[in-house]
A and B are shown apart, each in its own frame.
Chain A
Amino acid sequence: MHDNLAISATGLVKKFSGRRVVDGVDIAVPTGMIYGVLGPNGAGKTTTLRMLLGIIEPDEGHRTLLGTDRPRSVSDRVGYLPEERGLYPAMKAREAIAFMGALRGLPLRTGRKRATELLETAGLGHAADDKIRKLSKGMAQLIQLLGSIVHQPELLVLDEPFSGLDPVNQERLEALILAERDRGATIVLSTHVMAHAERLCDRLAIIAKGRRRFEGTVAEARSLLPMQATYTPRNDDEHIADYLPAGAQHRGDGWRFTVPVEGSEQVLSKLIGAGYGISGLSIERPSLHDAFVKIVGRAALEDQA
C-alpha cells in the first residue's frame, strides 16, 4: 500500500432514518491514481463520496482528505462532479466554468482564460458564449466537468460521470480524465458501468449494501474468478462430456467450462487421448463485469443469510 494517500477512510458509517446506508466503509486512495468506487444502484457510493468531501458528516468513522481530517479546509484543492448535475441555466458556458473555479479560489479573470482553453481542448470552443440552457445535456455535463477541473485540483471526485452521455462524449470524458491523471491529479470516480472502470481505474473498491466488498486492482478483481475455457473438438460425440470438467456447457460447435485450479493441461490431455482432438481453444480471464456480478451477488446472499 502507498504511504502517500489522497484519501483515507476507516469505518465510515452513515444512517438515514435509522438505516445504515453506509456501514463501515474503509477506503485508501493513493495519490496520482484513478480510483474507482464501484457498486450497484443504492450501494452507498454517493453517500460515501459526500462524506469523504465533507458535504455531509459521517455518523461514525474517520477520514482524511489530502492529509487533513477537515476536508472543507482543502476544498480549494479538490474538484467535484456530483451525480446530480447542476448549472445555472442563464449562465454562459465560459462564465459557468469560471464561476465554479472562483468558488474554489481561482480568480475570475484567470478562470475565464482557462475556461476558454479547456473549452477549445474539449472541442466545445464554439459554445463558450452559449447559455447553459441552450446546450445539450451531454455538453452541459462536459461543461460541468471542465468547471470541476478549471482550478487544477489535486484531487478530482467524479460521481457517475458517464451517466447520460452518448458514446462520443464518453470518449471525450475518458480523455479528459486521463489527461487529468497525467497532469498529476488523483481521481476518484464512482460508476456502475464496468467497461469504464476496467479501462480507466488503477485501483478500485466495490461497495454493495453499504459495505466495501472488494479493494484492489482490476486484475485482482478479475482473478477472483477462475478462467473460462472455450474448447472446440475435432471429433465430437455424446461421451465427450465425460472427459470435460463438471459444469461444462455445450455452446454452438464447442464447449465452455471453468478451468480447474490445477490448470487445463490434464483436461486437454484426456481429450486428446480419447481422440477428440483440438479444433479450437481459447482460455479467457473473466471480465470485471463478471467479477462485479459475483461480488455483488455474493454480498446479497451474505446479507440474506
Chain B
Amino acid sequence: MSRLGTLLRQTMTIARRDFVATVFTPTFLIFLFAPVVMGSFGAIGGLGANAATQGGGDKTRIVAIVEGDQARLMMAVDAQLRKLYRDESDAPATLRTDAPGTDPAAQAHALIEDKSIDVPVVMFGPLDHPHILYTPRSTRSADYIAQLAEQTLRTARSGTAALSDATRTEIKRTAPRLRGGKESGFFAVFAIFFLTLLLAGQVVSGVAEEKGNKVIEILAAAVPLESVFFGKLLGTFGVAILFLAFWGTLATQIGTLMPANFAAGIAALTPAMGMPMFTLLFFGYFTMAYMLLGAVFLGVGAQASSVREIQLLSLPITLIQVSMFGLGALAISHPNGWLATFAKFFPLSSPYYMAGRAAQSPDVWPHVAALAWQAVWVAIFVSIGVRAFRRGVLQSGSGKFRWKALLGRS
C-alpha cells in the first residue's frame, strides 16, 4: 500500500472509531433530538408571547367618531381593506365607531385616556376634514384610519358595488429575479454559519478524550498524528452529516415540520447557477467551513489540559464563527470591494463568501479553485495543530512543518 493509502487507511480507522463511539451512545440521542427540545422551548415561548399579545390586542381599538350612516359605510370599507392583510398581526387594531356627542374633541381625548380600553387612535370631525388623535408609535394606525375616511367618502359617491372584476393567473419566473441572487447568497452564508455553529464546536474536545484516557500514546506510536487529527475531523463530520441527514429527511418528507415561511423562502431561492449545482456547492462549502473551523478548534483544543480549559474556549470559538459569518455576509453585499477580496481569500471566511457568490454568479471554475484553496488550508491548519501538539503535549523537538506528510510522503 502506498504511503498515501496507508495514511488514508489510518485516518479512516480513527474516523470510524470516533463516529461509532459518538453515535452508538445514549448521549447521541440527546444531541440528535436537541432541536426538538429547542423547538419546544421556542414554541412554548412563542405561544406565551402570542397569548400575551393577543390578550392585549383584544382590548385595543381604533375609534372613528362618526354619524350612523357613515359609520356603517366605514365598517364595510374597513372589512374590504382588511382583506389586504394576510397576517392578522400586521393589520391595524379592530375598528370601532362611536356616535359623536356634544363635544367630539373632548370625547376623543376621553377615549385616549380611558383605562378600561386601549385606544391608540381616534378620528372625529367631518370625513373630508377629519381630525385624528394618535399616541406615539401609532402612526401606521393613524394613516390607516385617514385612508379609511378617504375610501369611505369615495365609496359614498360611487356606491358599494364592485367596479372591477380581476382575473388572477399564477406564473413562475423563468429568469432569476434581480434580488434573488442576493437573497440566495445571504441564505447560503447564514445556513453555513448556522450549521457550523451547531455542529463544529464539538470538535474542540476531539483529542481531550485520548489525552484523558492515555490512548494518545498508543495512537501516536501507531499512526501519524496527522491521521489522528484528520480522523477526528472526519469522525465528527460524519456525526454532523448524520444529524443533517436525519433532520433534512424529516423536514423534507414531513412538510408540516418545516415552518411555512421557511419552506416558501427556500422555494423562492433563485441562485444564479441553478439549484442543483448550487446545492452541490453549498454542501462543498459547508464541508470546507466545517473542516477549516474544525481543524482550528481541534488544534487549539488539543492544547487544553482540562475540561475547564476546553469550556473556556467555547466563547472565542463562537466569536470566531460569528465574525466569519459577519465578514461573509458583509462581503456578499459588496462583492466588488476590498472586503470581498479579503473574505474570498481568507481561509476561514472563504467558504461563507464563496457560497454566497455561488448564488450570484454562474461561473463554476472559481468555485473549483476556491474549494482546492480551502482544502489546502485545512491541511495546513491540521499540520500546524499537529506541530503544536507534538511540541507542547508530546514534548517532541520535532516542530517542523510537515509538507511531506501533507503530500503523503514521510
Query: CB within 8 Å of B: which residues of A?
Result: 14-16, 53, 55-59, 70, 72-73, 75-76, 78, 80, 82, 84-91, 99-100, 102-105, 144, 147
Q: Which of B13, B209, B214, B216 contacts A102 (CB 8 A)?
A: B13
Q: Which residue of B lies closest to A132 (CB)?
A: B213
Q: Are A82 and B217 in contact (CB under 8 A)?
A: yes
Taking the nearest CB of chain A, how far is it from the CB of B2, in angstroms? 12
Interchain CA distance A58-B219 in the complex, whole Å = 19
For B398, the chain A residues whose CB sits under 8 A away are: 56-57
B9-35 CB contact bits vs A (8 Å, 1 = yes)? 110010001000100010000000000
* B394 CB within 8 Å of chain A: yes
Beyond A16-B395, A70-B410, A72-B224, whether A86 also contacts B13 by CB under 8 A is no
Interchain CA distance A57-B397 in the complex, whole Å = 6
Q: Are A53 and B17 in contact (CB under 8 A)?
A: no
* B396 CB within 8 Å of chain A: yes
Q: Which residue of B lies closest to A148 (CB)?
A: B218
Beyond A57-B396, A80-B222, whether A88 also contacts B21 by CB under 8 A is yes
Q: Which of A73, A84, A104 contacts B410 (CB 8 A)?
A: A73
Besides A53-B221, A82-B214, A100-B222, 18 other A-B contacts (C-beta < 8 A) = A55-B217, A55-B220, A55-B221, A55-B396, A56-B394, A56-B395, A56-B397, A57-B396, A75-B222, A80-B221, A82-B221, A86-B213, A86-B214, A86-B216, A87-B213, A88-B213, A88-B215, A105-B6
* B197 CB within 8 Å of chain A: no
Q: Which of B9, B25, B222, B397 contacts A59 (CB 8 A)?
A: B397
Q: Are B410 and A89 in contact (CB under 8 A)?
A: no
Interchain CA distance A56-B213 in the complex, whole Å = 20
* B223 CB within 8 Å of chain A: yes
Q: Are A105 and B9 in contact (CB under 8 A)?
A: yes
Interchain CA distance A72-B408 in the complex, whole Å = 13
For B219, the chain A residues whose CB sits under 8 A away are: 103
Q: Are B218 and A103 in contact (CB under 8 A)?
A: yes
Q: Which of A14, A75, A90 contacts B223 (CB 8 A)?
A: A75
Query: CB within 8 Å of A: which residues of B?
Result: 1, 3, 6, 9-10, 13, 17, 21, 25, 209-210, 213-224, 390, 394-398, 410
Interchain CA distance A82-B21 in the complex, whole Å = 23
Interchain CA distance A100-B397 in the complex, whole Å = 26
Interchain CA distance A85-B217 in the complex, whole Å = 9
Interchain CA distance A102-B218 in the complex, whole Å = 12
For A16, the chain B residues whose CB sits under 8 A away are: 395
Interchain CA distance A144-B390 in the complex, whole Å = 24
Q: Which residue of B lies closest to A15 (CB)?
A: B397
Interchain CA distance A299-B3 in the complex, whole Å = 44
Q: Are B9 and A86 in contact (CB under 8 A)?
A: no
Q: Are B213 and A99 in contact (CB under 8 A)?
A: no
For A56, the chain B residues whose CB sits under 8 A away are: 390, 394-398
Sample of 19 A–B contacts (CB below 8 Å): A15-B397, A55-B220, A57-B397, A59-B397, A73-B410, A75-B223, A78-B221, A84-B214, A84-B217, A86-B210, A86-B217, A86-B218, A87-B213, A88-B17, A88-B213, A90-B21, A99-B17, A100-B222, A103-B223
For B396, the chain A residues whose CB sits under 8 A away are: 55-57
Interchain CA distance A102-B221 in the complex, whole Å = 13
Interchain CA distance A70-B222 in the complex, whole Å = 13
For A75, the chain B residues whose CB sits under 8 A away are: 221-223
